[in-house]
Chain A
Amino acid sequence: MIRMSRLQQQFANLKAQGRKALIPFITGGDPAPAHTVALMHALVAGGADVIELGMPFSDPMADGPTIQLACERALAAGTTVSKLLELVGEFRRDNQHTPVVLMGYLNPIEHRGIAAFAQQAKAAGVDGVLIVDLAVEEAPEFAPPLKAAGLDMIFLLAPTSSERRIRAVAEAASGYLYYVSLKGVTGAVTLDLAAVAHKLEEIRRLTALPLAVGFGIRDPATAAAVGRLADGVVVGSALVAEIEQHAATPEVLPALLKAKLGALRKALDEIAQ
């Protein structure tokens, strides 16, 4: 039997325990690279099962203002792809169990060379990669080097995804699928639970991969509501907004993020049966 990846193992464990995955997103290097590792440990202390670490990009076309500004802060503070991989390596020295997924846009990755990036990311302790603007149709050129390095490829699904696309995406993906709960950019607040439930049912009929849901989850109530429907919830802009607010006093952030995430953890664990 093939060894399970750290991500697959994590979702298998959670499933066995009847728990839901809590997946925080923060932008790497925000407000400055020196704070990222401490924030990642704080997220784990607050109950993170998987960390999505954003790779800042100059043109984040799928992101709302909160994450756009996070990208601008991180880039202004000198965050590069090399720096980000170094930070993951540093995090891994003290944490070998929490999967880390890099989430970003294709250009900085392609610029580095996809094969080099794949090897360096794996060596740093990255577990999966989610490239927002890499649709499954264009993936045949990019996925093989990432997979060969042992990285899981996370793909997005959306309310507009047709059955044909869901099948193709499920075929190409590993680790989990990230369902975008609404038509919009990150930070939007128009969550329609009935519509999410309906679409998740359709997706579940077509794949056995764990389903994480993101966009529009900002507090314990929305986390619990979505947690009832999915295998995991992603919370991003709500955390990044805290970083934005306290960017001038970053030393308060670890405790703040831990508390904020802790409240979501509690809400999610209360729904577990």
Chain B
Amino acid sequence: MVYDYAQFPDARGHFGAYGGRFVAETLMEPLRQLEEAYARLKNDPDFLAELDRDYTHYVGRPSPLYHAERLSKAWGGAQVWLKREDLNHTGAHKINNTIGQALLAKHLGKTRIIAETGAGQHGVASATIAARLGLKCVVYMGIDDVERQSPNVYRMKLLGAEVVPVTSGTRTLKDALNEALRDWVTNVDDTFYVIGTVAGPHPYPMLVRDFNSIVGRELIGQSRAQIGRLPDALVACVGGGSNAIGMFHPLLAFDEVAMYGVEAGGDGIATGRHAAPLSAGQPGVLHGNRTYVMADDDGQIIGTHSISAGLDYPGVGPEHAWLKDIGRVNYVSATDTEAMAAFYELTRGEGIIPALESSHAVAHAKKLAPTLGSDRHIVVNLSGRGDKDIFTIAKREGISLT
């Protein structure tokens, strides 16, 4: 079957059986207004010019496409390239999206933005753009994540944001999302909810994808210039799935490009202690959309386990659920241990300290590269840098930094 990927989601926000708008009544009309505003602005030349200016002069785009020659040699197979989203202002791909959504907020006349965050990268990116546009910013963060990502908590505070620790449920990203939705329903008149990944109710999965698609669009030009053609395979980690869809989406129509979304395998899929709903979950409804979720026998959402706070989420963007079902993208997983090994290899082999999230993608590239010839090319989305993770890693090494 041939799909026109640009036609998804449909008018009701569905990607096949997934997506949609599963929220309480109070948010239905505000979501429709957001959808309308976005439909108007996404083709508005002034809006697009403003976004472009910010991508260039504030984020520092385009991000380089870097040939990791030493890694490629060490792994003995395909050439490995890194799309350097870690070099963006604030250190991850997340800013591509927050800039877009904050501009929407401004156009809608909202004076306050809220965000949820896991690793803190999306919280930092939201706090950053709020400072730049003079918006009030509140970030919800599970209290367990507040502890394991303390440098980012402090960065958000420096930027003038209020960080609210969330103590309900499993005290991680999913609970931060619940709390942000509760805030939004309460303050919907003046508040814009800046969702950090391609999840949530329609139109969020679409607009977060569109804002992150700058990554894939740049990649097409860069790989033609530097490789001489499109790559053979793309690899990206999948938490909610925004960095992955941003790189994949503009290339979905090129059948010759294989794609791999890498979920957090935690202690291993077989142990049940992971965060891999596409690999080991089933369809359900969470946070406003139908997608693959991790749930128990009674449909309760279960706790996830990953060394990486940004991947520690029991759901996944609905477009990924659909891309899995139609077989366009392969979804695989990398364990904590594999991600850590990849983290060290990239750090010591190329002088690039990756985020723990991105290390999962690197770990899969390491498995993939030796299966391909040296004339083949793999592009890894290096979604973020690892500065925020040094405390977690030091702790694993038994070193105290304070």
Contact = CB atoms under 8 A, between A and B. Distances in A.
Interface of A: 57-65, 68, 72, 75, 80-82, 105-112, 132-135, 137-138, 155-162, 165, 169, 180, 183-185, 188
Among B23, B174, B178, B298, the one with the most A-chain Cβ atoms within 10 Å of its Cβ is: B298
Closest 8 CB pairs of A and B: A111-B299, A108-B299, A158-B26, A156-B25, A62-B24, A58-B300, A184-B186, A160-B29
A81 B21 CA distance: 24
A183 B183 CA distance: 10
Contact of B169 (A58, A107, A188): A58
B29 A107 contact: no
B168 A180 contact: no
Nearest to A135: B28
Interface in B276-318: 284-288, 293, 295, 298-302
Interface magnitude class on chain B: 35 or more
30 contacts: A57-B300, A59-B175, A59-B286, A61-B24, A61-B181, A62-B181, A105-B285, A106-B22, A107-B295, A108-B298, A110-B299, A111-B284, A111-B295, A133-B285, A134-B22, A137-B12, A156-B25, A158-B25, A159-B26, A160-B25, A160-B26, A160-B27, A160-B188, A161-B28, A161-B29, A165-B28, A180-B25, A183-B185, A184-B185, A185-B182
A27 to B, nearest CB: 14
Contacts, number: 121
Contacts of A165: 25, 28-29
A169 B24 CA distance: 13
Nearest to B20: A138
Nearest to A190: B186
Given A180-B25, A183-B189, 14 more contacts: A58-B169, A59-B286, A62-B24, A62-B185, A106-B22, A107-B299, A110-B285, A111-B298, A133-B24, A133-B285, A135-B21, A138-B22, A158-B26, A165-B25
B151 interface: no
Main secondary structure of the interface of B (DSSP, over half): mixed
B30 interface: yes
Contacts of B30: 160
Contacts of B20: 137-138
A214 to B, nearest CB: 12
Nearest to A178: B25
Interface string B176-203: 0110011001111100000000000000
A91 B32 CA distance: 41
Contacts of B293: 107
A65 B25 contact: no
Among B177, B182, B188, the one with the most A-chain Cβ atoms within 10 Å of its Cβ is: B182
Nearest to B181: A61
Contacts of A107: 284-286, 293, 295, 299-301
Contacts of B178: 59-61
Nearest to A188: B186
A25 to B, nearest CB: 15
Among B21, B29, B285, B286, the one with the most A-chain Cβ atoms within 10 Å of its Cβ is: B285
Nearest to A179: B25
B300 A158 contact: no
Contacts of B188: 160, 183
A75 B296 CA distance: 12
A59 B23 contact: no
Interface in B14-49: 20-30
Nearest to B24: A62
A133 B23 CA distance: 4
A112 to B, nearest CB: 7
Contacts of A105: 285
Contact of B22 (A80, A135, A183): A135
Given A134-B22, A135-B23, A184-B185, A112 B300 contact: no
A156 B189 CA distance: 19
Contact of B24 (A57, A156, A159): A156
A81 B26 contact: no
